[in-house]
Structure 1
Amino acid sequence: MTIGIPGFDYQRVAVDGDVTLNVAVGGTGSPIVLLHGFPQTNVMWRHVATDLATDHTVLCPDLRGYGASDKPVARDADTYAKRTMAADVVTLASKLGHERFALAGHDRGALVAIRAGLDHPEAITHLAILDVLPTLDMWDILHGSSAAVAFHLYLMAQPPGLPEQMISASADAFFGYFLDVWAQHPQAIPAQVRAEYLRASRAAVPSIVADYRASAGIDIDHDRADRAAGRQLSMPVTVVQQDWGAALGYDATALWHNWAADLEHRTTSAGHFMAEEAPDEISTVLRTLMVR
């Protein structure tokens, strides 16, 4: 049995041909869209979304390929390109009556959010990025033994076939591993929520792998083209990360300034799943961003 965000209504909205997204909608006021990460669903926003819904209209979709959203077969590189997934989000918001909206993304959802900000600046008023690096920078920074922490990126970058087979053969162990090692406070993901994440991920192995595979291919091409053209995020941007810079040897704030002029960069003592581990902190960050 699936679980949802308390007090939110769930809808299905067609965004791209025969692709339909599952979205939780709640609250009233200026709109904000919240995009989940891996290996999660929109349920990761349950605390933050209910708080923001007191004075904002909050949309929490499952990304294409995840949760209860459609999972099209990856017939070409574009199917799970972040450019395609970002267009899904803009279309979804428009169909629900919001031509302009604030956008926050965590992990995979943050990569979609970055691409939405670059491709659709007319639609995104404010942008929040939680615990991810732009695709191009991520691959540049990972090297040597430090790249071992991102073994899943290299596994899912391989050609179709073997990654899907290996992950499907031990799906709960694979997805559960990340829920365990990335959390500073494991109790923030209670048993029923963990079970929902595992159930949803088990049912989505091919599309999850296709999403990651796109980030080792077409997404890099799109980022390189933006860098060559000098494109930046034009809206106010807040980035919240664990202190990866110290661990991996780079200047995180300087890196992000290459992509965003109007930037606030923050580190957090919470783990990777910060919207669940430190929801009050994240709600405050998003409210502060939306009045900049």
Structure 2
Amino acid sequence: MRHVYECPMRWADLDLLGHVNNAVYGDYLQEARIDMIRTLGASHATEATSEADGLVVVRTRVDYLRPLLFRLGTVRVETYVEEIRPATFTLAYEVVDDPAHGGPGDDRIVYVRARTVLTPFRFASETPRRLTDEERARLEPYLEPGQEPRTPAVAPASGQRSAPGHLRVPVRFSDVDAYGHVNNVTYLEYLQEGRIELIGRLWGAAPGAPAEQGRPGPALVVARAELDYRVPMVPRAEPYDVHTTIERIGRTSMTFGTEIVDATGEAETCCARGRVVVVFVDRVTGRPVQPDEEDLRPLRELGS
């Protein structure tokens, strides 16, 4: 069984290319997840029932299969349980248009497939806990075991840190969730800010920007994003440090590694690690392209 949420789309969800922005899908998944939690009813494993107990996202993976364009109305998000373990469970999602349920067109279209690993969490002691039998029973009707291997943790970035890849990111008031932590979706925005800043410094303009802003090179479209949440980030005056590196450059794609750290103490603390695969695309046709050598040269120099 799958939980279905008809997610409203907003004009503000769009990026420079006129597609739903990659980070916005995190909002769609979160809205679908919360709607499912409400359907399951009050339970510490599925809905925060006190200030001291709730759910924490441990890991996220999003695969972007095709662009979603804006329209008036909603897009369908199907959510199900892929795995239940003693102290965590994994939710899987498909963002789709399905003509069998009122979607446009004649074929079922999948825009995104994603997973989130969640754990029940006691905020008073800042510790995870195990699922109860009652909580497992609430989740089991939605269990649809996945065929893919479990999503592994994101390894430390393999590229070298550099000045162009360093960005200081302040926490905005709107970045914070009901628990007083930076919301899990906001981390995807921080990853995006880091790689756009890096590419902008190397190319002299943001990727896909108008020609009059410099030489922007081809546009970048995200194909996959993986993110591990390690230590909660909290609102404060001091910015966090985002370090973005280039781990791999292919013919039409590139992989970024990102670490978000707290460098205010004696020892640096890693708050999150991310890895994002992007595809170079033509700004007119939207098809993958191999960048010009002039565009590739600064990327290779930084990644070497």
Q: Same fold (TM over 0.5)?
A: no
TM-score normalised by length of structure 1: 0.27
Higher helix share: 1
Question: Rg: which structure is higher?
Answer: 2
Higher strand share: 2
TM-score normalised by length of structure 2: 0.26
